[in-house]
Amino acid sequence: MTDDRAAEVTVFYDHPAEQAVLGAMLLDPLIIGEVEAFLSARSFHKPAHPVIFSAISRLRESGGKTDPISVAGYLADEGKLHQLPDPDGALYLHKLVAVVGGIASTAQAVHYARTVADKALLRDLDTSLADIRSTMRSGGGGTPADLLERARNMISDLGLRVVGQGGPERWKDIIEPALDAIDRACEEGAGPPGIPTGLPDLDRLIHGLQKQRLYVVAGIPGGGKSTLGAGDFVRSAAFHHKVPTGVWSLEMTKQELFNRLVCAEAQVPSDKIADGTLDDRDWTAIARMVGDTGEAPLWIDETKGITMADIRVRARRLKQQHDLGLVVIDYVGLIETRSGAPRNQQIDELARSAKNLAGELDLPVVLLAQMNRNYAQRADKRPVLTDLKESGGIEAHADVVIFVHREEQFDKTKRIGEADLIVEKNRGGARGSIEVAAQLHLNRFVSMAQWDGK
């Protein structure tokens, strides 16, 4: 038992370091801002220390003095001076100054602040792990994937607090690497900096599918959102550019998706596969296509009833094993959620999770979504962001929103075989509309410049 208590003192808190930090803050007001970059009141373990830290911070914010006498007066006015260890409270503040020997340096204060922050992190990690362990042993918390996702989120959140990771960077430190990135982009030529979509006009507008970005492809049923997001984007990435790609096909089976990709890549009409009327030329084209793509880095998951936690776990595994470069999810409305919240809040959480996945795995995520049918009642049928089904969260978290719009769906006589890819949101870039040929009999969209009319 004695050993356990000794370990707790060593691992979970360091009171002398806490005293040194507070002493330095009381001695030199210029140090306060440096320390506040690392610590908050809850970083301190000894009960009196959060009280002192908060008093110093509030006095500094209000422009007051932060020496021991001023802090003691502030605490007395607040009725908190008795919370300090010594009988009169004020004496303890002077003892803290004595801890640093009457001389405090910024480097010294930061050193002890790092120690205090590390101990606070360990305490929170211990508490979080204990909470997860308790939930797991009680039989609650959902599926193993849910528990793993909860643990991952906890570790990720704590990781942001690790001293030395993240935080503000000075402008002069940003300049050189940022200019280098611009220079590299110029040297690499006119191609998109992200994964090409297979549609050059679209790439010129959104600059390909870029890392850490969430791309939402939306349309009404039968409009072609899967053809674009789970078809053209996937073929371009996995088949033509050898980017390891994971597709979570919650609507189509892997056989259905295979058929679509074969039709588009081999240029074999989909009705021939459906009717079983393939001729020798078709089989030759399919055989050539299969031979060319047999080693393509493409993984398809058709699991129904899957949760976002499941997707994250499986995508993370593909990232570790095969350096996954693109995630496609078809579509958000079919992702299971055990939340009892209203559907719009559930969709918001799913979109946020998809965006977080893009950042965590450092890759683009393409999330397919449906649109509300009521926009079809308007005179102007071109979709806008509010037409997204349960739109708020999707609109907020997406970096790029692409609507697939075909006038032919509303008037059989208009623009037959054509579609507009409307980039309604493009964070950091221009919005616009791209006209493409809708070769849906081949399950693909084609740039008008490349269209041969067939």
Q: Please indicate, yes or no, if residue 82 is contained in any of the structural domains.
A: yes
For residue 150, is pLDDT > 80? no
Task: Verify that 17 and 153 share a domain, yes or no.
Answer: yes
Domain that holds residue 373: 192-447
Helix, strand or coil, per DSSP, at residue 245: strand
pLDDT classification of 126: cutoffs 50, 70, 90: confident
Helix, strand or coil, per DSSP, at residue 207: coil
Q: Please indicate, yes or no, if residue 170 is contained in any of the structural domains.
A: no
For residue 216, is pLDDT > 90? yes
| Pair 42, 116: CB distance under 8 Å | no
Task: Verify that 212 and 144 share a domain, yes or no.
Answer: no
Taking residue 368's Cβ as centre, other Cβ atoms within 10 Å add up to 26
Task: Verify that 155 and 204 share a domain, yes or no.
Answer: no
Q: Which helix (H) or strand (E) element contains residue 420?
A: strand 418-426
Task: Verify that 44 and 130 share a domain, yes or no.
Answer: yes
DSSP assignment of 139-180? T-SSSHHHHHHHHHHHHHHHHTTSTTSSS---HHHHHHHHHH
Task: Verify that 359 and 428 share a domain, yes or no.
Answer: yes
Taking the C-alpha atoms of residue 157 and residue 145, their distance in angstroms, rounded to an integer, is 18
What pLDDT is recorded for position 241?
94
pLDDT classification of 1: cutoffs 50, 70, 90: very low
- Which phi and psi angles does 348 have, rounded to 5°? -60, -45
Specify which of 270-279, 292-301, 376-385 reaches the highest per-range mean pLDDT. Answer: 292-301
What pLDDT is recorded for position 316?
84
Specify which of 3-7, 37-41, 114-118 reaches the highest per-range mean pLDDT. Answer: 114-118
Write the CATH number for 345.
3.40.50.300
What pLDDT is recorded for position 3?
43
Helix, strand or coil, per DSSP, at residue 447: strand
Phi-psi region at 311: left, alpha or beta (left = phi > 0; alpha = psi -120 to 50) = alpha
DSSP assignment of 56-112? HHHHHHTT---SHHHHHHHHHHHT-GGGSSSTTSHHHHHHHHHHTTT---HHHHHHH
What pLDDT is recorded for position 389?
66
The one-letter code for the residue type at 361 is L
pLDDT in tens, 50-69: 999 999 988 987 888 999 99
pLDDT in tens, 167-193: 556 787 778 887 887 787 676 655 567
For residue 9, is pLDDT > 60? no
pLDDT classification of 196: cutoffs 50, 70, 90: very high
Q: Which residue has the tokens 């071109």?
A: 382
Give the mean pLDDT of 303-330: 87
Write the CATH number for 19.
1.10.860.10
pLDDT classification of 297: cutoffs 50, 70, 90: very high
Task: Verify that 208 and 350 share a domain, yes or no.
Answer: yes
What pLDDT is recorded for position 4?
45
Specify which of 45-54, 341-350, 401-410 reaches the highest per-range mean pLDDT. Answer: 45-54
Instruction: Output the six-digit token pair for 298.
Output: 């493409």
Q: Please indicate, yes or no, if residue 345 is contained in any of the structural domains.
A: yes
47 or 165, which is more confident?
47
Domain edge (last residue) among 115, 146, 165: 165
Task: Verify that 306 and 233 share a domain, yes or no.
Answer: yes
What pLDDT is recorded for position 376?
66
Give the mean pLDDT of 17-28: 92
pLDDT classification of 215: cutoffs 50, 70, 90: very high
280 or 375, which is more confident?
280
Taking residue 83's Cβ as centre, other Cβ atoms within 10 Å add up to 15
Domain edge (last residue) among 129, 148, 165: 165
Q: Please indicate, yes or no, if residue 104 is contained in any of the structural domains.
A: yes
What pLDDT is recorded for position 149?
73
Q: Please indicate, yes or no, if residue 281 is contained in any of the structural domains.
A: yes
Give the mean pLDDT of 216-234: 90
Nearest alpha carbon to residue 90 among 60, 112, 67: 67
- State percent of the chain over pLDDT 70: 88
For residue 239, is pLDDT > 70? yes
Q: What is the mean pLDDT of the chain?
A: 84
Task: Verify that 282 and 212 share a domain, yes or no.
Answer: yes
DSSP assignment of 249-300? ESSS-HHHHHHHHHHHHHT--HHHHHHT---HHHHHHHHHHHHHHTT--EEE
Q: Please indicate, yes or no, if residue 125 is contained in any of the structural domains.
A: yes
Task: Verify that 288 and 347 share a domain, yes or no.
Answer: yes
Q: Report the domain count for the chain.
A: 2
Domain edge (last residue) among 147, 165, 183: 165
Specify which of 58-67, 161-170, 322-331 reaches the highest per-range mean pLDDT. Answer: 322-331
Q: Please indicate, yes or no, if residue 316 is contained in any of the structural domains.
A: yes
Task: Verify that 258 and 376 share a domain, yes or no.
Answer: yes
Task: Verify that 201 and 59 share a domain, yes or no.
Answer: no
For residue 209, is pLDDT > 90? yes
Nearest alpha carbon to residue 157 among 117, 128, 132, 135: 128
For residue 7, is pLDDT > 50? no
For residue 262, is pLDDT > 50? yes
Give the mean pLDDT of 445-454: 68
Weakest mean pLDDT among 53-57, 187-191, 298-302, 304-308: 187-191
| Pair 198, 232: CB distance under 8 Å | yes
Q: Please indicate, yes or no, if residue 178 is contained in any of the structural domains.
A: no
pLDDT in tens, 388-437: 766 667 888 889 999 998 888 887 878 888 889 999 889 888 899 999 98
Q: Which pTM was predicted?
A: 0.65
What pLDDT is recorded for position 394?
83
What pLDDT is recorded for position 219?
86
Q: Give the sheet arrangement for strand 432-439, strand by strand.
A: 298-301, 245-249, 326-330, 365-370, 214-219, 400-405, 418-426, 432-439, 444-447
What pLDDT is recorded for position 53?
94
Task: Verify that 251 and 300 share a domain, yes or no.
Answer: yes
What pLDDT is recorded for position 229?
93
18 or 9, which is more confident?
18
Q: Which helix (H) or strand (E) element contains residue 122?
A: helix 106-137
